[in-house]
Structure 1
Amino acid sequence: MVRPLYPINAPTYLRLRDQIRADIEGGCWRLGQHLTLNELSAHYSVSNVPVREALLQLQGDGMVDMRMNRGAVVLDVNERFIDEYFDIREALQSMLMTRACQRRGGGVLMQAKVLLGRVDEAMREGKVRQLLEADHALQDAIGHMGDNEPAMAMLASRSRLLEAFRRARLDLLTADLMQLPVQGLAMLLAIEHGDPGSGCEAVRRHVAAMRAYMKKLLKIPEGRSRADASLVNVPTFTRARESTAAMPEASSTEPASPAVASPGPPTVLPLSLPPGRRLDPEGDGSNDNRSTDDGLHPPKR
């Protein structure tokens, strides 16, 4: 994640705010944990004054809830939080998509096509963490095409707590995530053709997929089983189950080495579909016959 750079004379509370926020995302401070001023002052070696100011800033970002003379509590993520967040996200992203379609991408379309290629590549390799990070980068690029910085800032501030929630749990590869490259392609096609109706529909389906995925994570206990963020077994998804079964067990004496992709030029997906082939906008897998001819993976010759 790109973090703001402040001049050397920036107020301490701004730098402390970013550090506490990063530590919440990284799991140093758990969701729902009570934080006292004295505890934070000792941890970061600062006085109570910048700690209080930093917590007030984080309360404005929707990450903590201040308590009178009792410090603050890191907000927890539940089903209501997820629904409210994605309702706001759908409204803002639909507005940004409409503006992006009117501007026809504003010259950033080629960069977004490269990002879409990374989303598709991570999905095919079953790398959940990389898939979500690539999709986040793609959605951020699409949002910036809408040229509304206040809306982007609101999305960024509200997404950090959900990111901390996701990082604290196992990486699940579900059918919901398999729709991300499809809807990403639909968004870029809509922007290229100046079709806000199709673009907003793709946004709606993308948000619905992410909402469903986050609600599935509510049933998963905190903790990760692998340092390389490889996918875990999902009984309802056959391909994930087969990929997990094919992975060799890690030795008790040697740590498992994460998979490293071979270097090469970034993948750029064409904004077109093969003749006679349509997207699966319903997201129900009706066009998914597990072949490579799905509009994203050209058939091998």
Structure 2
Amino acid sequence: MLSIVTPGQGSQTSGMYSTWITDTANKELIAKYSELIDLDLFHYGTSASQVEITATNIAQPLLTALAFMSFGRLEVNSNTNIIYSGHSVGEFSAASLAGFYTDEIAMKLVNTRGKAMAAAAASNSATGMSAVLGGDKAEVIKHIEQFDLVPANVNSNGQIVASGLLANLEKLSENPPVSTKVRKLEVAGAFHSQFMKSAESELEKEFAQVEVTNSKSNFISNKDGQTIKDSSDLKNRLITQITSPVRWDLCQAKMIELGVTGMLELAPAGVLTGIAKREMPGVELFAIKSPEDIPGAQAFIDKHAKITR
């Protein structure tokens, strides 16, 4: 069984579109997306600095478009043995691939989401995020909450991200959980916390204007690692995800439970397959980092999509 996953913020790198848009179809796709959301994706994907593309309102549509570019080069049949999932903003492209809505709708949603989260961060400037590396998962989460912080991302046993006020993050850094290191993240605000509440409202308005249908494919949700196919359930989960923890640990656990034998990470790949190396032993991994990886990715799909539990 195959899982296809899409990465979240932090995966973007300067110039990451350069090798992809030499393909005419990809170039036309980016031109369409740029016009659709009124954002020059060519500039941000080829010549913008790393600092520029770190801004959440830029990073989110930039990453989503690249996921679609890389997927578009592959031949994937509507196969019930394929599971889709994404990390944070990656859920939006993954949900499109699973059949809940079109790629154009996904681009509109993430554009609204990115702008709204940037605005929420600007109005709560004394907030941020820190990664807690190592330690026991349950103990780390308990320790984080003692400082009035929330576990925004629970990626694995040794990688949890805390979100909240900068003052509280500083206290966490000065008093880290046992056997851990705390590293401040260069982000604009406290994502996946109540400081993003205003962004939740904006995304809800955008969802009210687009068509979302039930999916026939399996989609694993960041909220609790459960598979969902109902459109109303999906909308609620994607809206509230902005203020809720990303439970990637539970997503990986569900993949293992369902009998996944291979995980394919769409471009710009590396982060999720890196986590999976530690958390999903025995599962074969493939990361699409450039167009040169497409033939290998196709063979990987053909191999694992045919395997049933």
**Structure with the bigger percentage of strand:** 2
- Normalised to the residue count of structure 2, the TM-score between the two structures is 0.29
- Larger RCO (alpha carbons 8 Å, 6+ apart): 2
Q: Quick check: which one's helix share is greater? A: 1
